[in-house]
Amino acid sequence: MKIWKQLPYGWKVVFAFVFFFSATLGFAYFKARDTNPSIPIEALATTPTEASSWKGHPKVVYFWTTWCTVCKAYTPILEANLKFLPKETMFLSVLESEDSEETKEILSHLSSESTYPIYTADYRMLKEWRISAYPTTLFVNANGKVVFADSGILSPIGFWIRSFLLRFF
């Protein structure tokens, strides 16, 4: 305790950040250990060619829904986070499949202006991937194993750390 009091303030801040990000990374890693879906993420692909092009690549899979206010607030942060993705890592945006006119309208509007494809998942897929809250971001390694699972908003630093570490798992 005496050493802590003698440390300069800057070092205390660095240690606090390291501790915080290590703790959140640990929680995300242990949460992902429960996610072992029998349905591969390639089942979302619209064509067999698209599904085969996903194999062997690490993926960031973002599950969201149209009625989620946190998802709407997270959109600009997510756009910034995507700039931190390594080139070989794929980003998949997965919308909860709702059969409402509002969802269809939003989906058609988003598909035309989005820089990434948006897929829809039914209840069975969401259950297999253990999606219980929105937004949920899963970091999947090249072998299809979920390495990190996070619910809520991810900071750019947290997003980058998970994306970077994905290649080592």
- Helix locations, 33-155, DSSP H: 48-54, 69-82, 101-113, 123-128
Q: Per residue in 124-154, pLDDT tens?
A: 999 999 999 999 999 999 999 999 999 999 9
User: Which two three-digit tokens encode residue 14?
Assistant: 């660095």
Query: Which domains are delineated in the chain?
Result: 2-168 (3.40.30.10)
What pLDDT was estimated at residue 159? 92
Would you say 39 and 128 are in contact if contact means Cβ atoms under 8 Å apart? yes
Quickly list H helices, the chain.
Answer: 2-6, 9-32, 48-54, 69-82, 101-113, 123-128, 156-165
Per-residue pLDDT band at 100 (split at 50, 70, 90): low
- Closest listed residue to residue 160, CA positions, set 89, 94, 95, 93: 89
- pLDDT of amino acid 111: 58
Query: Which pLDDT score, from 0 to 100, does residue 92 have?
Result: 93
Confidence of residue 110 (pLDDT cuts 50, 70, 90): low
